[in-house]
Amino acid sequence: MSLYTNSFLSKTGGVGMNDMGANLIRQKVGESRRLSEKRALKTVSLSTIILLLCTTLSMTISNQNVSARMWEPIQEISTDSTTERQWNVSLAAEDDKVYAVWADFEDGDYDIYYRYNDGASWLGEWEISTDTSGEWQINPSISVENGKLYVVWEQVNSTTRDIYYRHFDGTTWQPEMLLSTDIGWERQEAPDVAVDNGQVHVVWQDDYDGDWDVFYRHFDGTSWQPEQQISPDPWLEVHKNPSIAAEGGGIHVVWENISSGNFGIRYKHFNGLGWQPEVELSTDFIWDKSFPSVAVSGGNVHVVWGDRKSDGDYDIFYRHFDGVSWQPDQEISVDAGSELQFAPAIALDSAEVHVVWWEGGVGDNITYRYCDGVSWQPEEVIATFSGISWYGEYPVVSSAPGVVHVAWADSRDGDYDIMYTRSTEDITPPQSNTNPISPYWQTTTTFDVDWTATDDQDLANISLYYRFSPNNASWFPWAEWDYNNSTSGVFATGTFPFDAIDGDGFYEFYTIARDSSGNNEMPPLSADSIVGVDTDPPTGSIVINDGDEWTTSTSVTLTLTYFDALSGVDQVRYSNDGLWDSEPWETPSSTKAWIIPSGDGTKTVYYQVRDNAGLLSTTYSDDISLDTTPPVGSIIINDGDIWTTSPWVTLSLTYFDATSGVDQVRYSNDGVWDSESWEFPSTTKEWPLSFGDGVKTVYYQIKDNAGLLSNTYSDSIGLDTTEPVGFITVNNGDEWTNSTSVILTLGYLDSTSGVSQVRYSNDGLWDSEVWETPSTTKSWTITSGDEIKIIHYQIRDVAGLESMTYLDYIGLDTTQPTGSVNVNNGDELTASTSVTLSLAYWDSFSGVAKIRFSNDGIWDTEVWQSPSTEKPWLLTSGDGTKTVYYQIRDNAGLISETYTDDIELDTTPPTIVSISPPNGVTGVEISTNIEVTFSERMDQSATVDSFSLVKGQTEIDGMIVWTIDGRTMFFIPTGDLEYNTTYQIFILTGARDIAGNSMVGASDTSFTTKEVEEETQEEPLTTTDYWWIILVLVIILLIIALIVVGRRKRSQTEEVPTDEENGLESSEANQSNDVNET
């Protein structure tokens, strides 16, 4: 186990090291450090550490003289005039609030006053008892649960002493009530109250039978139950000063007992079912025992009292029940044998037991001691004063989580006042750290480590810990280096001198502080500070131009090394004279471009390295010789020719160097001396030019034996081996033309010698075509005749090279397209301006491109459209004959003739001109026929469907015959009409003309036949009758003629080729008249 681990245990185990134990460890560490000259031992054996820990632990416990609690300044919480007396204080605490009641002598008698602290400050006091003049209310006791308060007190008048109770329900104080019952002369005194889960428990002492006994009464959550005596009652036996505690339905009561000259402390317990037999807690019966106090937590019962059994004066004794049995009593007060410890009070906070008492003798004190659940901590004097009487000043204690509240009465200002203080446990460890060490790298093995420490109360000591690493990766264990026991206060700083005994490497540091309450700081997760120790200078080397003997330039390259094993290389510097006076430090690199002084001769470069610790290397250097005179020469290609048609040429060369002589030469086609090889010099050389036509330059360079290069010499010649190129486009790429005159768009290029002339041909034979000056456009005439035409084009450059033959195509079309238009399938009439055009279009060569339509045939704003076989079209308004015009354009731009078709527009509805018999006429012959004449030719089928002759609800059957003009309709009844009968003629709006216009309104007329005649003589046929017979025969003959004509047309259609076979797209409309017979 390392000393770091030992330190960790001592700072987390809850017990701090005293100086003696710490010195033992430091002595052991000092001995281990001396085991090695280079490195101190960082660990001691496990048995040694355990021995040291046990020794330190025992000494720390036995010599401990500090408390981990912090007491606030004492404050007076009662307010009064200079002669007013307040005493008999009682406290209760819950969460962060504390409540106090006391007896206050303000208006000539004692009253009960109340005040509470909300966790931040004490609020105003209130009188909570009510009395008449001369009554005293004294000895109050208070208990709290869930913010509700329960107070009892003793009320004294001229004849009796009674127990009173008052309750604060969390909002208001309820009326006070009398708890004790008496026969008018006995005394009830010294009440105490406890509350548990809403049930209130009260005890007091009562002398109703001539001696003092302990009485008990409780509120069960609904009502107060009768009081009962819980102490035994032998004659003249005294039971007084009871104290009560309650928890989980259990009730615990202790009191003083005096019986036949024997003194004792009695305990009685109610276990939820009944009161159990009392238990004697004190272990002797000779000496006085007084003022017991009881508290309970988790089933453990704790009792304290004053007892004279030990040394003849009063001391504080303590005994507790651990849930199984009562443990032996023990004296918990410490004295010199003559002072008095008296009137203790007890409170619990979880496992902690808190006790206060009054102590007199050398001085008058309020003394406090607590048990942390394991052992009793040293007692503390929390108040010192003088001039206290034996009445009312005894302290009381109450606790809430982490806080202990103490109150008492003292007369330090001439009258009795209520004093209060509270404490919290000091569990906050101190904080410390080593300050950053600057500079980070130390070049000596001794340096200072500064530290800073803080605590909320009082610092006690601080130790410095360190660990070492040779590489900042693997670390030796932590070890304590030094300590300082002279720290105090809430803030301290200091310095530990440190010696890096482990040599060069890395050292980490942290501190551990301890305060005077025994709180130890936890070791940090990482070091507070780190430092590097480096005492070895860096090393390096320098080589100029890879060790060359000569250089031809003052610009050289330094090849460098630099190394530092620990802190690393920081910067380097260079010099041409080695004086190190103005040379700047710079970032190191493995190579460095450097300028040596001008002038041929031997040159020296100096080099130095500095590490991060600031240490300097020795001065390194290297030498090189400088030669700066280059060789000279010349080059000529093909004896100075301007052009060549071959890529191979002959170079004529010269070369000369006046100093070291020519060593080698090299040649290049691009002048970029990257991959060209050096070779032996000669006066001529066969050389290939670079690929591709154009001006070619050959470059030539010479190198002397010192490595100096001449200027680059060069000569140029033109190389041309490539034909010219170009293109031809006819009419900007149009596919068709309707003219033999076209425009050629031309391109021509020769990147070397340039274009000289061009020529054109319609047949591509190049037999008689003339070369001419090139241009970008040319007017040209193609051969006649509708077909695809080819134009040929050729280019010749200045060097006489001819290009390939370029071609372009265009179609020649000089024939117009054809077509037809048909409105509404050939109908003669239409009732709507919206019609449908049936279309045909044809072009035998370039094909149809667009079509257009017109109502006026002027072709000014009409838009060309994609062709289709059918087109919805809108006629101009107004009845009459309408003509639709139609044109076709082919892909060559030729436009057809204008095609037309007519249709009659009729939008006027028909009317009835006359009806026979007229409306309302009587005496009509029974053989009469009905005659209706319309304003225009009618749609016979629709009109017949809209006509009816009705008798009552019965429609009359008959035959309908129309006149040839289609305007007059005759209805011939099947038989004679009936005599003296009224008939109605209906013509509904479904009747329409042949254009489709319906009648605006229906017609309803009537007539009445003549009365029956006695004798009827058959009349001969009249002229009218003969005409009717002739009319019927004519109609029949017309129908037969129409049938015959229709059959002949169909037979002709089958023999003649159709429009589709002729390449036309067309539509055909047929019209027939309906003849209806019933």
What one-character-per-residue DSSP string does 128-147 give? Answer: -----TT-EEEEEEEEEETT
Rounded Cα distance between 297 and 985, Å, is: 121
Rounded Cα distance between 138 and 353, Å, is: 28
Sign of CA dihedral 844, 845, 849, 851: negative
The residue among 321, 285, 291, 286 whose CA lies nearest residue 306 is 291
* Pairing between β-strand 834-842 and β-strand 870-874 as defined by DSSP bridges: antiparallel
Rounded Cα distance between 649 and 652, Å, is: 10
Sign of CA dihedral 687, 688, 694, 698: negative
Cα 484 to chain centroid, rounded: 52
pLDDT of residue 1065: 37
Cα 689 to chain centroid, rounded: 67
The amino acid at residue 251 is I
pLDDT of residue 169: 94
- Which stretches of the chain score pLDDT less than 70? 1-68, 81-82, 133, 183-184, 235, 285-287, 310-312, 336-338, 362-363, 386-393, 1014-1024, 1026, 1046-1078
Non-local (6+) Cβ contacts of 911 within 8 A are 934, 935, 999, 1000
Rounded Cα distance between 395 and 383, Å, is: 10
Rounded Cα distance between 392 and 388, Å, is: 9
Tokens of 311: 């040394």
pLDDT of residue 1023: 64
Q: What b/e readout covers 423-437, taking b as 16+ CB neighbours within 10 angstroms?
A: bebbeebbebbbbeb
pLDDT of residue 360: 80
pLDDT of residue 337: 66
Q: Please, what CATH class does the domain formed by 3-68+427-533 belong to? A: mainly beta
Alpha-helical (H) ranges within 527-566 are: none
The residue among 608, 588, 613, 618 whose CA lies nearest residue 504 is 613
Within 10 A of 289 (CB to CB), how many other CB atoms are there?
25
Rounded Cα distance between 203 and 224, Å, is: 13
Q: What angle, 0 to 180 degrees and rounded to 10, lies between the N-to-C axes of helices 46-63 and 19-33?
A: 160
The domain made up of 912-1015 has a fold known as Immunoglobulin-like (2.60.40)
Cα 18 to chain centroid, rounded: 55
Superfamily name with CATH number, domain 815-907+1025-1078: Immunoglobulins (2.60.40.10)
The residue among 364, 323, 319, 320 whose CA lies nearest residue 340 is 364
Rounded Cα distance between 87 and 85, Å, is: 7
DSSP assignment of 73-117, as one string? PPEE-----TT-EEEEEEEEEETTEEEEEEEEE-SSSEEEEEEEE
The residue among 1059, 1057, 1078 whose CA lies nearest residue 1068 is 1059
Rounded Cα distance between 454 and 463, Å, is: 14
pLDDT of residue 1018: 53
- Paired strand residues for 950: 955, 984
Q: 3-state DSSP call for residue 59? A: helix
- pLDDT tens readout for residues 288-346: 788 999 999 999 999 999 888 766 678 899 999 999 999 999 999 887 666 788 899 99
pLDDT of residue 37: 31
Q: Is-contact 501 33, C-beta < 8 A?
A: yes
Within 10 A of 139 (CB to CB), how many other CB atoms are there?
25
Tokens of 197: 């889960």
Q: What b/e readout covers 223-254, taking b as 16+ CB neighbours within 10 angstroms?
A: eeeebeebbeeeeebbbbbbbbbbbeebbbbb
Tokens of 646: 């071959």
The domain made up of 725-812 has a fold known as Immunoglobulin-like (2.60.40)
Rounded Cα distance between 541 and 563, Å, is: 10
Q: Which burial class, exposed, middle or buried, applies to 843 when counting CB atoms under 10 A from its CB (0-12, 13-18, 19+)?
A: buried
The residue among 538, 675, 683 whose CA lies nearest residue 611 is 538
CATH number of the structural domain 632-719: 2.60.40.10
Same fold, 3-68+427-533 and 71-425: no
pLDDT of residue 516: 82
Within 10 A of 785 (CB to CB), how many other CB atoms are there?
9
For 466, how many CA atoms within 13 A lie in the half-sphere containing its CB?
Answer: 25
CA geometry: angle 589, 590, 596, nearest 5 deg: 85
Non-local (6+) Cβ contacts of 925 within 8 A are 1009, 1010
Rounded Cα distance between 698 and 688, Å, is: 9
Q: C-alpha distances in angstroms, 634 versus 668, 686, 1050?
A: 14, 16, 105
Within 10 A of 723 (CB to CB), how many other CB atoms are there?
14
Q: Is the preceding peptide bond at 401 cis, omega within 30 degrees of 0? A: no
Tokens of 378: 């040293």
- Count of helix runs (H) and strand runs (E) in the chain: 5, 74
- Paired strand residues for 737: 812
Tokens of 891: 């892909």
Q: Please, what CATH class does the domain formed by 539-626 belong to? A: mainly beta
pLDDT of residue 30: 37
* Domain residue ranges of the chain, discontinuous segments joined by +: 3-68+427-533, 71-425, 539-626, 632-719, 725-812, 815-907+1025-1078, 912-1015
Rounded Cα distance between 269 and 301, Å, is: 10
Place of tokens 């709006």: 989
Non-local (6+) Cβ contacts of 83 within 8 A are 414, 415
Q: Please, what CATH class does the domain formed by 71-425 belong to? A: mainly beta
Residues in the chain: 1078
* Pairing between β-strand 213-219 and β-strand 228-229 as defined by DSSP bridges: antiparallel
pLDDT of residue 737: 94
Q: What angle, 0 to 180 degrees and rounded to 10, lies between the N-to-C axes of helices 19-33 and 3-12?
A: 170
pTM of the model: 0.46
Q: C-alpha distances in angstroms, 64 versus 380, 427, 457?
A: 12, 16, 17
The residue among 648, 644, 656, 651 whose CA lies nearest residue 667 is 651
